[in-house]
């Protein structure tokens, strides 16, 4: 049941139950503003009602409470956080997150809920997720400069004006490193690192804004996987074509 007064008015005026998908082409980032819908679906739908920017920014939390007694499985983390679920349900119920706490090959083979496909939420522009954590075995940490040089040589070796989109936190060293390169940089802030709700609110608008600006690659800074940050990283791991590890 939506909380927005315009959505509630549409339901009321229709005099019938309504069920609807998100207003985007399959696999694309979810829209958080009317302009996103117009860009993606313009000419395919007759009307767009503009109720302003989405408050949360990421889609709903999807849970399965029927599979095991005393267990709630989070199939897709979203605006309602795992911490909030656990607080309400109490210590007698386990809250397990798909891919973090358990695996389910059957549901991964035939997804039962939106957002569970391996690739999802992807803009037209390639996305690279940057993590400042210890690399797993077989991976190495690199500098931003080396990563950008490699991406340039891989994607556009003959292109002098290589444009880089940077989706990172305010005052992030990633942004600073990118603007000190000789590449043209477009920046979009994820907000305050200590407020993952800001990253959730800005994520899709950032991806779609940078995509519309015609950059050649989008670098996204990873976030801590707690509170709304868990939902952000769920989306980014599906949107990114590759994950790279950086120093610092």
Q: Is 102 annotated as a binding residue?
A: no
Q: Is 30 annotated as a binding residue?
A: yes
Q: Give dist(CA 100, CA 102) in Å, integer.
A: 6
Q: Which of 63, 55, 52, 59 is nearest to 24 (CA)?
A: 59
Q: Is 121 annotated as a binding residue?
A: yes
Please say whether the beta carbons of 28 and 40 come within 8 A.
Answer: yes
Sheet holding 141-142, edge to edge: 141-142, 242-246, 127-131, 217-221, 163-168, 184-189
Centre a 10 Å sphere on the Cβ of residue 181 and count the other Cβ atoms it contains: 15
Q: Is 172 annotated as a binding residue?
A: no
Q: Is 118 annotated as a binding residue?
A: no
Q: Is 22 annotated as a binding residue?
A: yes
Q: Which of 154, 150, 167, 164 is nearest to 223 (CA)?
A: 167
The CA dihedral of 45, 49, 52, 58, to the nearest 10 degrees, is -50
| Distances, alpha carbon 173 to alpha carbons 12, 178, 215, 243, in Å | 49, 9, 20, 18
- The residues that bridge with 184 in the sheet, in sequence order, are 163
Q: Which of 4, 113, 19, 103 is nearest to 62 (CA)?
A: 113
The secondary element (H helix, E strand) that includes residue 165 is strand 163-168
- Give the residue ranges of the annotated binding site for ATP: 22, 30, 76, 121
- Give the residue ranges of the annotated binding site for L-threonine: 20, 60
- Give the residue ranges of the annotated binding site: 20, 22, 30, 60, 76, 121
């Amino acid at each position: 049941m939506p909380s927005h007064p315009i959505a509630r008015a549409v339901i009321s005026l229709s005099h019938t139950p309504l069920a609807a998908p998100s207003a985007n082409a399959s696999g694309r980032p979810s829209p958080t503003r009317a302009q996103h819908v117009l860009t993606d679906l313009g000419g395919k739908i007759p009307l767009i009602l503009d109720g302003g920017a989405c408050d949360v920014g990421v889609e709903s939390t999807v849970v399965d409470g029927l599979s095991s007694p005393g267990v709630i499985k989070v199939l897709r983390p979203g605006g309602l956080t795992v911490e909030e679920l656990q607080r309400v349900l109490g210590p007698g119920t386990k809250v397990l997150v798909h891919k973090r706490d358990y695996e389910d090959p059957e549901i991964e083979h035939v997804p039962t809920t939106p957002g569970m496909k391996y690739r999802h939420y992807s803009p037209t522009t390639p996305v690279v997720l940057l993590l400042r954590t210890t690399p797993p075995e077989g991976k190495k940490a690199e500098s931003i400069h080396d990563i950008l040089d490699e991406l340039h040589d891989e994607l556009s070796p003959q292109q002098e004006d290589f444009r880089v989109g940077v989706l990172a936190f305010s005052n992030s060293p990633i942004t600073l490193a990118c603007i000190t390169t000789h590449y043209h940089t477009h920046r979009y802030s994820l907000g305050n690192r200590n407020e993952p709700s800001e990253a959730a609110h800005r994520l899709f608008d950032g991806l779609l804004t940078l995509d519309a600006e015609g950059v050649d690659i989008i670098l996204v800074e990873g976030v801590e996987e707690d509170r709304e940050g868990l939902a952000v990283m769920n989306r980014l791991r599906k949107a990114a074509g590759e994950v790279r590890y950086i120093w610092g």
